[in-house]
Structure 1
Amino acid sequence: MSDLASASSSSTTPVPSIETLQVFVRVAELASFTQAAQSLGLPKASASTAVQRLEASLGTRLFHRTTRRVQLTQDGQACYERCKDLLADLDDMQTLFQPAASGLRGRLRVDMPMRVAHDVVMPRLPEFLSAHPALEIELSSTDRRVDLVREGFDCVLRVGPLSDSTLVARPLGAMEMVNLASVEYLARHGEPRMLEDLATHRLVQYATTLGQRCPGFEWRDAAGVTHFLPMAGTLTVSDSGAYTAACLAGLGIIQVPRHGLEREVLDGRLRELLPDFLAAPMPVHLLYPHRRQLPRRVHVFMQWLAELLGPRLLPLSSAPSDVTAS
């Protein structure tokens, strides 16, 4: 080796190992050295040492550390996004020349609403995992709006309107809405036939964040214009499970997607109301980050989810293939 090459080699910063990057990404996703180490089957000290070595190698601090939490710094966030891409590219390279029939490999992290996860996805997930036994799925089911990039999700299923951001949204369709109340509630308060009848009824209020004001009973007229009718309500909830439970307990009327509570309607516990005054269908999108090339496992899972939900959704008229979303 020449003197020039020797000097260059000795001054070069060591390239972080793939294992070190995996540890860093896991700590960033779980915001915990302890949980990251446990999920990777490592001692906590090994996870901490790996991140310290990466920080030394890059010459920057990647985490704000306190006794209660671990949070990415601005440089750490940038490093996390690059590491995710790098590890995804590595996974793709490892399966590039394998036949599709060999199945997917790697870890897939997704988020979706609770009702969709429990009622639609979980019953069919064994089939998907049977076809891809080497795939590991982390499925978050929450009604809050997760931060796809910061929390490390590969894709997110979102129900409801979108706002602007840098994410890519794949429209799947729309969920038809329905008004429901329990038979016990209707026995006490009577069944409303017109909007005017709602003056003597209660609406279970739904808010993704408690403290938000509910605009009232939503309905769409023949021209497609959405209106809100203020209604009394003594209960506000922030997740779909509590929303359904409140209705079943006779605490008021709810407005929910038609698919999901068919069983409760068929067995007579809930009854549909005011079919001529329904809320606008709720759009459904798959969100994913902008990347040069998405891993094959993400593409395959999103296609499977789209086909699974398809029969339950109304078509979205003139919907673009990719839109800006949050």
Structure 2
Amino acid sequence: MFHGKTNKRTSEPKMRDFSLSDVRLFTKAAQLGGLTPAADALSVPKASASRQLQRLEAMVGHQLLHRGSTRFALTEEGREFLVAAGQVLSILDDVMLSLSSGAGTLAGRLRVAAPHYYGRELLGVHLPDFMSAYPQLEVVVETGNDRADLFRDEADVAIRRGREGCDEMVARHLKNEPMVLCATADYLAPRQAIESVSDLAPHAFLVSEIEGRKKEISLSITGKTHRLNVESVFQSDDLELILKLTLAAKGIGLVPLSLARSHLDSGALSSVLPALKLTPQEINLVYLPSRRHSPKIKTFVDYVLNIFKQS
């Protein structure tokens, strides 16, 4: 009987070596919606593209793409693999660009997702200087998409309102944005005076929270959330649209103080229940932990943090 030591490695799963060209072809096919356009984009012979995909699927042990004459879509396993593949390729591309471009030079593409207001008012003002400093870096900003799924490679970094969805990512706090309830005199004049939170019930509200019921709003006051049944609620993720409708006397708007300040100063808008201490909205810059060492992301994050620090 053999009494030697058991080789524990025999119970460990065998690691598989993937071809990066196969992985890149798969991600490009998922991006462009077909093997043929992916092969053209990567200068891969069309005859070998199908074989590369089959080889990758054999390595993964699952079919990654549904493909046919009229149908081309990711399988469930393909969607899962695409997330990891996209992250790995992004990291490798960052490193290769950094090494080939030389120290202090950024190149490639940086994709930023931000809410309408912050994308235009903040990045629109300061991005030209950033782009001048790094002319080889292509910056793409998608406003109105602060909920972009970074795990599915929809953006490299995102500016987000609130903490929702930040737990699995690196979240750098930018600022706490004071909020204000406001309305025009034309809207308020024909209605009963508002002296307490309970007086808000018969009013129309314009808010940016895309959740809840049509006739219910949530007001965060001094750390506590008050749910109110109101006359009606208009919801949009576009804060500037909310402000325009508020100025058009369509209801009471809940908007950032910085967005409404000039209209409050001019008298076009009046603060509703100004003594209320509304909880500020937290603004964060988020990115994936696996991308924390990406030179382009690190440089952009430091740049944005510096902007908010000075504001």
TM superposition score normalised by structure 1: 0.73
Indicate the residue corresponding to 2:118 in structure 1: 116
Indicate the residue corresponding to 2:219 in structure 1: 218
Segment drifting more, 242-251 vs 226-235: 226-235
TM-superposed deviation, 1:15 = 3.6
1:42–1:125 distance in 2 versus 1, CA, 3 Å: farther
TM-superposed deviation, 1:212 = 4.1
Counterpart amino acid of 1:216? Answer: I
Q: Secondary structure at the match of 2:282?
A: strand
Counterpart amino acid of 2:102? Answer: Q
Question: Mapping of 1:57-68 within 5 angstroms?
Answer: 57-58=55-56, 59=58, 60-65=62-67, 67=70
1:8-61 deviation line (CA, Å, top 9, x unaligned):
xxxx999443xx655543444x46349x95xx9956996987863541231253
1:201–1:166 distance in 2 versus 1, CA, 3 Å: closer
Counterpart amino acid of 2:225? Answer: T
Counterpart amino acid of 1:94? Answer: L
TM-superposed deviation, 1:88 = 2.3
1:142 to 129, 144, 165: 144
1:65–1:214 distance in 2 versus 1, CA, 3 Å: farther
Counterpart amino acid of 2:84? Answer: E
1:41–1:181 distance in 2 versus 1, CA, 3 Å: farther
1:110–1:234 distance in 2 versus 1, CA, 3 Å: closer
CA contact (8 A) 1:33 1:48 kept: no
Percent identity of paired positions between Structure 1 and Structure 2: 24
Segment drifting more, 283-292 vs 129-138: 283-292
1:88 to 87, 91, 95: 91
Q: Secondary structure at the match of 1:291?
A: helix
Segment drifting more, 133-142 vs 52-61: 52-61
1:310–1:265 distance in 2 versus 1, CA, 3 Å: farther
Indicate the residue corresponding to 2:161 in structure 1: 159
Partners of 1:238 and 1:14 in 2: CA distance = 42
Which entry has the higher C-alpha Rg, 1 or 2?
2
TM-superposed deviation, 1:259 = 1.9
1:65–1:303 distance in 2 versus 1, CA, 3 Å: farther
Question: Mapping of 1:191-270 within 5 angstroms?
Answer: 192-208=194-210, 212-213=213-214, 215-216=216-217, 218-221=219-222, 224-233=223-232, 235-270=234-269
Is residue 2:171 matched to residue 1:169? yes
Indicate the residue corresponding to 2:3 in structure 1: none
CA root-mean-square deviation: 3.7
CA contact (8 A) 1:205 1:233 kept: no
1:215–1:196 distance in 2 versus 1, CA, 3 Å: closer
How many residue pairs were aligned?
290
Structure 1 spans left out of the alignment, 5+ residues:
1-11, 313-326
Q: Which runs of 4+ in 1 moved over 6 A?
A: 43-50
Is residue 2:283 matched to residue 1:287? no
2:102 to 71, 81, 98: 98
Is residue 2:308 matched to residue 1:305? no
Structure 2 spans left out of the alignment, 5+ residues:
1-15
Counterpart amino acid of 1:121? Answer: L
1:49–1:266 distance in 2 versus 1, CA, 3 Å: farther
Counterpart amino acid of 1:280? Answer: T
Counterpart amino acid of 2:306? Answer: E
* Greater RCO structure (CA 8 Å; 6+ sep): 1
1:268-301 deviation line (CA, Å, top 9, x unaligned):
4322222211421112222222217531101111
Indicate the residue corresponding to 1:8 in structure 2: none
Partners of 2:39 and 2:124 in 1: CA distance = 26
1:152–1:236 distance in 2 versus 1, CA, 3 Å: closer
Indicate the residue corresponding to 1:130 in structure 2: 132
Indicate the residue corresponding to 2:80 in structure 1: 77
TM-superposed deviation, 1:112 = 1.3
1:90–1:239 distance in 2 versus 1, CA, 3 Å: closer
Partners of 2:291 and 2:116 in 1: CA distance = 30
1:235-294 deviation line (CA, Å, top 9, x unaligned):
344543432232122111121221233343344432222221142111222222221753
CA contact (8 A) 2:158 2:286 kept: yes
CA contact (8 A) 2:63 2:77 kept: no
